[in-house]
Amino acid sequence: MAKQQYINFDWSFFPGYEESYLDSMPPQAIKVDLPHNVKTLPYHYFDEGEYQGLFTYEKIFDDENPCFPVKFLHFDGVMLQMQVYLNGMNLGHFVSGYLPVDIDVSKLIKEKGNRLLVIVDSREDKSIPPFGDLVDYMTFGGIYRKVSLISHPSSYVSSLFIKADMDGHLEVKTSLANPNPELKVSHILYRGDKVEAEFLGEVLDLSSPHLWTLDDPYLYTLKTIYGDDERIDNVGFRSAVFTPEGFFLNRVKTKIIGVNRHQTYPYFGAAAPDSLQRDDANIIKFGLGANLVRTSHYSDDESFLDQCDRIGLLLVDEVPGWQHIGTEKKWRAQLRDFCYRMILKERNHPCLVAYGLRVDESKDDHELYSSLQQIKKDLDPSRQSLGVRCFKHSELLEDVYAYNDFVCAGLSKGLDDPKTYVKGKHPVLVSENMGHTFPTKQADTNAKRLEHALRHARVLDDSFSHPNLCGSVAWCAFDYNTHKDFGSGDRICYHGLSDIFRLPKYAAFLYASQTLPNTFFVAGNLDLGEEDGSYLRFPYVFTDADYVELYHGGKFVGRYYPDREEFPHLPHPPVKVDDLLGASVLSLGFTEKEASALRGPVMKYACKGPASLSLSEKLTLYRIVKRHFASFEEGAAKIQDLMLGRGEKERPFLFRGYKNKTLFAEKAVCMSRSWHYELSSSASSLKNGASYDALRVSIRKVDQNGTLMTQGNDVLLLEAEGPIQIMGPSRVALVGGGISVYLRSLRVEEKQKAALRIYAPDQELSFDLEVE
């Protein structure tokens, strides 16, 4: 079978290029491993020119499979262009960007001491998409994905196209290199370790297949055999179709709740190994609760798509670009080439439900986009296509009309009526929403973070209100680095449900509450000094609870239900806790009737001040209070203390979530009196493989109740012990109360212990792990 030899460790790297490097690297060259970003950068406030230029990489390697005659160098991703030399021979110039490059080196490879030299040009080239005009994301330079040497026997399967539907119909179309008439292609389909079927030819009909679904993304294993060549592929039996009546997965109508994702990270750009790609997919599915991800605005790493296959996360890909369409033949030819390579790369993934075959938010171009449709028809007629635009009544050449709806400018409206997007009866998907209309930082005020979440709730509610709309895809999953022309002036677009460190904002919990069982998050800190005029802002609970009960200082205040009046179409509307007085006022001697009459004026006073009260409300408040207290001032002070618990006494608010009358979650909220750091991680160990391994350690400053201290900016000193390395600076400051530190493995001969030491003000923390 074909052998894939990964060559990702122990490269030499030097920023710059001179002709003398063709003979030997300069002595100042440093050792690096792949994936590699040409420069470690701050997480914000840096210039995009810092990663652009010429950079030289060298790798000395042996051929571990010399008995195989056919050899290809395989580059998963290099930004942007490269000139490649092997053993002194110029292999040519190649454009990679977001797509792989294969180079036939069969006649040049040696068994020992091969010298591979790659000159990377990461400068923005206006003749190559996505460039040509402004681009609202960064394109970090380097060999930022894996590299391998692939060895084949003389005759082999050069490509494979798998189609498997929910009825058990499987088609496997093979393309052969150097075909041998004496050989036949055969297949073995495995269900786990058990052989499900063996067959020759292209077609198999399986009775009652185990389907690939969102909740049970079952994958069969297909072994394809051709003489001495074998290859292994995953197969998911499923049917996915966008219709004018909505999106259907395995003939079950499914509302899409999606997010867009940029593949970049703080400090190291797009140079993330497989484990971090998987981590992002897991966050999107199991943290944000999304059922679809759009790889905006380019093709993502294969390990990300592999994880989407494994966990049941639908995916829409996209050709590289942003708004601009080049008029030059070279630009247009390059986009067609990218489209061709993207489809070949991704067409066997069960998670992939549509191809994005239009430059995001670009104008109509009948000639260009018709040609992309033809490429899809030739390579994969089984899947639909969509094209993303930001204007209505665009020419529709694709199967699905995808529209970026940014109409939301408050809490009254989230989306336009989808019937206004396009004339006629077509499948419609909202491919982006919110985003730049309300950028929100982790350290913003409680009011802004809450409105950010509620605006997303309004968009989702509007999406669910239109039964024929396939769904909506939020812009976006994570904050991301961008060019100087966009963002908040610090090279970050703060458009994410989570921040650039993958830490959730309020809106992330709103999304999670729609699909993830037992979500329970109190959005609101009840700190009056946080709000304008020191007035009260009602908290919300983002949850799938049937109802929420509130206790204050151990006393029952009230029961609150999902706000179906404001969000009637959401699966799980937010719970608005709009009365902090409730039944607790009875403890002051008021009757039920008096308490009922008090609640309205008191809460209005607390939220908007005395000027908001009508004369009638003021008189009602004064009369009732005076019945029980010597002075109005004394009674008002008692009510305020009862409601807010101000002063020395700590009487926490306790929010309790119930399902089927059974308590399943609770959260205390009160004044912060003590603080500590919480550590969590994406993994507990590191294991070298095709490349180095990496994990994310998230550090949050929280109070005694676990509430994030969003104004925390503590400086932390970081120290790596053992065979690990910090992927970024060793001195960081919390951003909005938290930050994530990324650790990578170094090569080891045997399993070793390692630790990340975190030196915080007056405290030392440790994250311990093993490396193998």
* Measured distance between the N- and C-terminal CA atoms of the chain, rounded to whole angstroms: 27
pLDDT above 80 (res 306): yes
Q: Quick one: 31 and 83 in the same domain?
A: yes
Position 644 in a domain: yes
Three-state secondary-structure class, residue 118:
strand
Q: Quick one: 9 and 119 in the same domain?
A: yes
pLDDT above 90 (res 766): yes
Q: Quick one: 102 and 168 in the same domain?
A: no
Residue 392, pLDDT score: 96
Listed residues 669, 690, 710: the one ending a domain: 669
Residue 637, pLDDT score: 77
CB of 6 closer than 8 Å to CB of 146: yes
Residue 2, pLDDT score: 86
Residue 469, pLDDT score: 98
Q: Quick one: 120 and 197 in the same domain?
A: no
pLDDT above 70 (res 110): yes
Position 571 in a domain: yes
Question: Quick one: which of 142, 118, 120 has its CA closest to 41?
Answer: 142
**pLDDT tens-digit readout, 139-189:** 999 999 999 999 999 999 999 999 999 999 999 999 999 999 999 999 999
CB of 674 closer than 8 Å to CB of 492: no
Three-state secondary-structure class, residue 585:
helix
CA–CA dist 667, 540 (Å, integer): 12
pLDDT level of residue 742 (50, 70, 90 thresholds) = very high
As to burial, measured by CB atoms within 10 angstroms (0-12 exposed, 13-18 middle, 19+ buried), residue 301 is: buried
CA angle 595, 587, 558 (to 5 degrees): 60
Q: Quick one: 725 and 692 in the same domain?
A: yes
Mean pLDDT lowest among 92-96, 615-619, 661-665: 615-619
CA–CA dist 428, 242 (Å, integer): 8
Contacts of 139 (CB under 8 A, 6+ apart): 79, 80, 97, 122, 124, 130
Contacts of 32 (CB under 8 A, 6+ apart): 11, 12, 13, 57
Q: Quick one: 596 and 714 in the same domain?
A: no
Residue 630, pLDDT score: 76
Which CATH number characterizes residue 73's domain? 2.60.120.260
Position 470 in a domain: no
**pLDDT tens-digit readout, 380-393:** 999 999 999 999 99
- What does the pLDDT average to over 281-289? 98
Q: Quick one: 161 and 28 in the same domain?
A: no
CA–CA dist 505, 495 (Å, integer): 11
pLDDT above 80 (res 535): no
Q: Structural domain tally of the chain? A: 4
Biggest CA pair distance of the chain: 106
Residue 632, pLDDT score: 76
pLDDT above 80 (res 606): no
CA–CA dist 501, 237 (Å, integer): 35
Averaged pLDDT of the chain: 95
State the catalytic residues.
361, 432
Count the neighbouring beta carbons within 10 Å of the beta carbon of residue 395: 14
Q: Quick one: 11 and 148 in the same domain?
A: yes
Q: Quick one: 12 and 119 in the same domain?
A: yes
Position 709 in a domain: yes
Which CATH number characterizes residue 184's domain? 2.60.40.10
Position 184 in a domain: yes
CA–CA dist 753, 755 (Å, integer): 7
CA–CA dist 564, 8 (Å, integer): 54
Residue 211, pLDDT score: 98
C-alpha torsion 256→516→743→680, nearest 10: 160
Amino acid code (one letter) for 4: Q
CA–CA dist 315, 297 (Å, integer): 13
pLDDT level of residue 244 (50, 70, 90 thresholds) = very high
Residue 648, pLDDT score: 54
CA–CA dist 168, 47 (Å, integer): 52
pLDDT level of residue 313 (50, 70, 90 thresholds) = very high
Contacts of 596 (CB under 8 A, 6+ apart): none
Question: What are the φ/ψ torsions at residue 220 (nearest 5 degrees)?
Answer: -80, 165
3-state helix/strand/coil string of 184-196 = CEEEEEEECCEEE
Q: Quick one: 649 and 689 in the same domain?
A: no
Question: Quick one: which of 743, 747, 745, 746 has its CA closest to 756?
Answer: 743
Q: Which domain holds residue 46?
A: 3-152
- What does the pLDDT average to over 234-242? 98
Three-state secondary-structure class, residue 172:
strand
**pLDDT tens-digit readout, 9-58:** 999 999 999 999 999 999 999 999 999 999 999 999 999 999 999 999 99
**pLDDT tens-digit readout, 467-510:** 999 999 999 999 999 998 898 999 999 999 999 999 999 999 99
Three-state secondary-structure class, residue 574:
coil
CA angle 760, 762, 767 (to 5 degrees): 40
Question: Quick one: which of 538, 644, 658 has its CA closest to 584?
Answer: 644
3-state helix/strand/coil string of 481-530 = ECCCCCCCCCCEECCCCECCCCCECHHHHHHHHHHCCCCEEEECCCCHHH
Position 207 in a domain: yes
pLDDT above 90 (res 743): yes
Position 454 in a domain: no
**pLDDT tens-digit readout, 712-723:** 999 999 999 999
Q: Quick one: 47 and 93 in the same domain?
A: yes
CA–CA dist 288, 209 (Å, integer): 30
- What does the pLDDT average to over 204-224? 97
| Residue 571: DSSP 8-state | S
- What does the pLDDT average to over 641-649? 67
Listed residues 235, 261, 283: the one ending a domain: 235
pLDDT above 70 (res 649): no
pLDDT above 60 (res 631): yes
| Residue 286: DSSP 8-state | I
pLDDT above 70 (res 647): no
Listed residues 669, 699, 714: the one ending a domain: 669
The residue behind tokens 């489209």 is: 339
CA–CA dist 402, 428 (Å, integer): 6
Contacts of 606 (CB under 8 A, 6+ apart): 535, 536, 580, 640, 643, 644
Residue 580, pLDDT score: 86
- What does the pLDDT average to over 740-766? 96
Position 461 in a domain: no
C-alpha neighbours within 13 Å on the C-beta side of residue 279:
25
pLDDT level of residue 101 (50, 70, 90 thresholds) = very high
Q: Quick one: 646 and 716 in the same domain?
A: no
Contacts of 361 (CB under 8 A, 6+ apart): 322, 323, 388, 389, 390, 404
CA–CA dist 599, 596 (Å, integer): 6
Q: How many residues does the chain have?
A: 772
**Crossing angle between the packed helical segments 302-311 and 274-282, to the nearest 10 degrees:** 40
